[in-house]
């Protein structure tokens, strides 16, 4: 079973690349954003709880997020593996994911980070903002704030996975095909 964490700042192309890898390796793609939206839309107990935090402008506690992800993973007992996109975002989430997957005898094999300079990402997100209808994709100061949040709170996961010899960095600049080829090369290595 190949379980990977696809990692990188906003606009780096995680979702796009996850779709290719999912099809190529017959994996299950779990996007935290999709899981949240699904739970909230369907008024699940965890969705209602998460929404109560979000409605107040608060971050959803790790415990709620982890419980949602565990429920999602348990829906796919016969998968070849998972691509986690947008999770984990903190060291405590990474540790909880490790405990959960190790108990199932299906550990994370790698964290693959797409590496793209911030100025290129800002341009990508502003372009995406022309069609996404997301206010946070249309304002450069909000975009740069998201990068700051990523750098201060999420990028520390690189150290966590490096300590386990599971961290791989991939150049995320180029055509979709070039980036996919780079990812496949890394993916085939483990």
Q: Which of 166, 189, 152 is nearest to 84 (CA)?
A: 166
Residue 75 annotated in active site: no
41, 104, 134, 181: which is the annotated catalytic residue?
A: 134
Active-site residue identified among 95, 142, 144, 146? 146
- Ordered domains of the chain (ranges, CATH): 3-185 (3.40.50.300)
Bridge partners for 156 per DSSP: none
pLDDT at 102: 94
Q: Per residue of the chain (190 residues), give pLDDT as tens.
A: 789 999 888 889 998 999 999 999 999 999 888 898 899 999 999 999 988 887 776 778 888 889 999 999 999 999 999 999 988 988 999 999 999 999 999 999 999 999 999 899 999 888 888 888 777 778 888 888 888 877 887 778 999 999 999 999 999 999 999 999 999 999 888 8
- Choosing from 51, 95, 109, 128, the catalytic residue is 128
Classify each residue of 19-29 as buried b or exposed e, where b means 16 or more C-beta atoms within 10 Å of its C-beta. eebbeeeebbb
124 is catalytic: no
Q: What is the pLDDT of residue 163?
A: 96
Catalytic residue among 2, 14, 22, 124: 14
Known active-site residue 134? yes
CA gap 62, 68 in Å, rounded: 10
**Whole-prediction pTM value?**
0.85
- pLDDT value, residue 57: 66
Q: Which of 8, 4, 189 is nearest to 114 (CA)?
A: 8
pLDDT score for 53: 82
Closest-CA residue to 50 (of 74, 31, 69): 69
Please give the structure tokens belonging to residue 64. Answer: 């709620």
Burial (CB count within 10 angstroms: exposed 0-12, middle 13-18, buried 19+), residue 65: buried
**Residue 144 bears catalytic tag:** no
């Amino acid at each position: 079973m190949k379980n990977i964490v696809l990692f990188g700042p906003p606009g780096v192309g995680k979702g796009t690349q996850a779709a290719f890898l999912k099809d190529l390796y017959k994996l299950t793609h779990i996007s935290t954003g999709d899981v949240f939206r699904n739970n909230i839309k369907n008024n699940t107990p965890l969705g209602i709880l998460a929404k109560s935090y979000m409605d107040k402008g608060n971050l959803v506690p790790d415990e709620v997020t982890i419980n949602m992800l565990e429920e999602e993973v348990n829906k796919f007992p016969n998968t070849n593996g998972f691509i986690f996109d947008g999770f984990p975002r903190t060291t405590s989430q990474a540790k909880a994911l490790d405990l959960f997957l190790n108990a199932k005898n299906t550990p994370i094999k790698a964290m693959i980070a797409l590496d793209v300079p911030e100025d290129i990402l800002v341009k990508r997100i502003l372009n995406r903002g022309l069609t996404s209808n997301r206010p946070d994709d249309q304002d450069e100061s909000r975009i740069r704030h998201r990068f700051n949040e990523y750098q201060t709170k999420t990028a520390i996961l690189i150290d966590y996975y490096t300590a386990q010899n599971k961290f791989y960095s991939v150049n995320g600049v180029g055509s979709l095909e070039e980036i996919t080829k780079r990812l496949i090369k890394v993916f085939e290595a483990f």
